[in-house]
């Protein structure tokens, strides 16, 4: 199997890189992958990641919730129990960023289509892109949504969308800069780009270190800090307008990290560490477990 080894930071291009930790794939393979840090932009990235043609097998698990919709296990049941709240938050962010109650929406990496379904019910004209065949099939079965393969991103008409969303997707994209260049062309002149990514500078990441569930190697190719996100977007003339905390992510990630650490659910410790991260994220969004970046093209 071919793998990718970066001699320079894939986020900013700097050669000032070094290994900071090794993390295990707890979801599918049990393999260990090195994570490198960039001294210039502060971004991190996974080394020896499978290429885009080979990485699909690392998503083939019922545990991968965004593709399977599984409710197996306490942690996944908790995830589903708060999803209605997070859907409402996402809708509010789109509305605030665009100033629109209805419009055209492209959701990249839409998984099983839950967010598209939610927005369609609010009379948005929705389009979804999803690389995984199973997830696309589940989207049709569950919600009557028919996402396009992700490769169709480069065949969509320019200046088509009022809003483009990527909910925990950017960290999965092999062609990082190609994607951002194309996304910029797809936005209407006053359109908004909304990106949510995990934040490795959060308290839960610092606490769990290599066991932090949001490293999620090798599926997460990049691991962003707020400053590395700003550096990346600036390269593509995309401006961050506002940042928002994804308040429940710290709980979910901490519960999953505690499971990796102890082999059990670790409910009390995981919840407590999630609460600590949540509290600090409310005071400073740059410390939140996951950060939502509301952006406009310059």
CATH number of the domain that residue 103 is part of? 3.40.50.150
Biggest CA–CA distance in the chain, Å, is: 50
Among left, alpha and beta (phi > 0; psi -120 to 50; other), residue 251 is: alpha
Q: Is residue 32 part of a domain?
A: no
83-87, 170-174, 284-288: which has the minimum mean pLDDT?
83-87
pLDDT in tens, 193-223: 999 999 999 999 999 999 999 999 999 999 9
Evaluate whether residue 121 is within a structural domain: yes
177 lies in some domain: yes
The CA distance from 190 to 293, in Å, is 16
| Chain segment 105-134, per-residue pLDDT in tens | 999 999 999 999 999 999 999 999 999 999
Q: What residues pair up with 165 in beta bridges, in sequence order?
A: 107, 194
| Mean pLDDT within 88-116 | 97
Q: Does residue 235 fall inside a structural domain?
A: yes
CA distance 223 to 43: 6
Q: How many domains does the chain have?
A: 1
Q: What is the mean pLDDT of residues 186-197?
A: 98
**Which residues span the domain enclosing 142?**
66-297
Percentage of the chain lying above the pLDDT 90 cut: 83
| Domain-embedded: residue 1 | no
Q: Does a structural domain hold residue 53? A: no
**Residues with Cβ < 8 Å from 55, sequence gap 6 or more?**
49, 174, 218, 219
The residue ranking higher by pLDDT, 264 or 14, is: 14
Q: Is residue 71 part of a domain?
A: yes
Q: Count CB atoms within 10 A of the CB of residue 151.
A: 9
Q: Which residue has the tokens 């505690």?
A: 258
What global pTM score does this model have?
0.92
**Which secondary-structure segment (H or E) carries 234?**
helix 226-235
In which band, very low, low, confident or very high, does the pLDDT at 174 lie, cut at 50, 70 and 90? very high
Rounded to the nearest integer, the mean pLDDT of the chain is: 93
pLDDT at 148 exceeding the cut of 70: yes
Q: Is residue 248 in some structural domain?
A: yes
């Amino acid at each position: 199997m071919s793998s990718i080894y970066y001699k320079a930071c894939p986020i900013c291009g700097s050669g000032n890189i070094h290994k900071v930790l090794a993390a295990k794939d707890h979801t599918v393979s049990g393999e260990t992958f090195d994570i490198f840090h960039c001294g210039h932009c502060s971004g991190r990235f996974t080394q020896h990641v499978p290429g885009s043609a080979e990485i699909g097998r690392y998503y083939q698990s019922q545990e991968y919730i965004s593709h399977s919709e599984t409710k197996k296990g306490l942690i996944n049941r908790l995830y589903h129990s708060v999803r209605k709240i997070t859907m409402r938050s996402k809708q509010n962010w789109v509305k605030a960023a665009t100033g629109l109650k209805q419009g055209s929406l492209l959701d990249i990496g839409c998984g099983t289509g839950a967010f598209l379904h939610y927005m369609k019910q609010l009379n948005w004209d929705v389009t979804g892109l999803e690389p995984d065949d199973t997830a696309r099939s589940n989207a049709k079965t569950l919600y009557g949504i028919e996402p396009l393969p992700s490769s169709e991103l480069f065949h969509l008409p320019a200046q088509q969308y009022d809003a483009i969303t990527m909910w925990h997707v950017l960290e999965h994209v092999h062609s990082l800069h190609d994607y951002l260049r194309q996304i910029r062309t797809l936005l209407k002149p006053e359109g908004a780009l909304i990106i949510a990514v995990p934040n490795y500078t959060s308290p839960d990441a610092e606490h769990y270190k290599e066991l932090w569930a949001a490293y999620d190697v090798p599926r997460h190719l990049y691991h962003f800090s707020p400053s590395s996100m700003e550096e990346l977007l600036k390269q593509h003339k995309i401006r961050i307008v506002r940042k928002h905390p994804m308040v429940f992510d710290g709980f979910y990630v901490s519960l999953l990290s505690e499971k990796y650490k102890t082999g059990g659910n670790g409910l009390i410790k995981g919840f407590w560490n999630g609460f600590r991260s949540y509290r600090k994220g409310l005071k400073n969004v740059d410390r939140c477990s996951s950060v939502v970046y509301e952006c406009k093209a310059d």
